[in-house]
Amino acid sequence: MFRHVKDLQFEARPDGPDAAFARRLQEVLGGKWGEMTVANQYLFQGWNCRLPGKYKDLLLDVGTEEMGHVEMIVTMITRLLDNAPLSLSEAVADNPGGGAIYAGSNPAHFIHGGGGALPTDANGVPWSGAFITASGNLLADFQLNVTAEAQGRLQVSRLFNMTDDPGVKQMLRFLLARDTMHQNMWLAAIEQLKEDGLEDMPVPEAFPDSGEFTAEYSHTYLGFSSGTDAAEGRWAAGPSPDGKGEFRYDDNPRANAPEPLLPPGDPRLYGTNPEAAGSI
């Protein structure tokens, strides 16, 4: 059960209108790695979690916080659109360069949203539930969550350098700080899963022994690039992170099966029939 608190977690107030930056800020709202994605991802992972206790609470706590970040960014976008020019003549009236700023705005903010934020990315592509992953395996999900926070922090950092508005920068500083915490939190949660003996590398831990393939394929780096630069990496020599083998480097990967020759397809599918080649 959710309860909405009207106060924001952090102030979301720009020093002035900027419709062009409002469009850019849409990416960290409704983009693939935006707040709508992580909020829903963590909540679905939590709702699907079959382990009551700390892990379920962790997912639902941070998912709820991220939903608050959605509201913060929506509020900031809406305020950036306040008093923004609605026509080219308005844009250039007091600012000769206003035409370029006006051209960089998203007309859908005004036509569809009435001067408000939209559930889209910076290009106006609608947010999709396909962006979220809730697999039921906590280790797999937590590893993806680390990636989601890393991508989110990267995009917010880039946006920080695209605005001179002090109010916007303050909110972005806060979001970067919280995303830093979340990224460290998921890394710690991965270690906690291992300490609790619930999961280990690789996922899934319960996968049956692969027998003859383990020694040859499970810890062998295949070098398909010219040269052997990759052989210098940690992934090409020494013990593997799962503790179950030693990495080795193979600079001459070989094919292990002959060329696949497929039989003719069902004629009712009207594919190109190789048997007809003899009549040409």
Binding residue ranges for Mn(2+): 35, 66, 69, 149, 182
Residues in the chain: 280
Which amino acid would we find at residue 133?
T
Helix, strand, coil % over all residues of the chain, rounded to 5: 50, 5, 45
220-222 and 246-250 as β-strands: parallel, antiparallel, unpaired?
parallel
Annotated binding site: 35, 57, 61, 66, 69, 149, 182, 225, 227
Classify residue 175 as left (phi > 0), alpha (psi -120 to 50) or beta. Answer: alpha
Torsion of CA 111, 112, 116, 119, to 10 degrees: -140
Q: Going by C-beta distance under 8 Å and a sequence separation of 6 or more, which residues neighbour residue 210?
A: 217, 218
Q: Report d(CA 62, CA 9) in Å as an integer.
A: 13
Q: Is 204 exposed, middle or buried (0-12, 13-18, 19+ CB in 10 A)?
A: exposed
Distance from the Cα of residue 25 to its chain's centroid: 16
Q: What are phi and psi of 126, to 5 degrees?
A: -60, 145
Strand partners, 103: none
- Amino acid identity, residue 158? R
Rounded Cα gap, residues 229 and 173, in angstroms = 38
Q: Which 3 state secondary structure label does DSSP give 120?
A: strand
Instruction: Please report, in range form, the residues annotated as the binding site for Ca(2+).
Output: 57, 61, 225, 227
Cα–Cα distance measured from residue 10 to residue 25, given in angstroms and rounded to the nearest whole number:
17
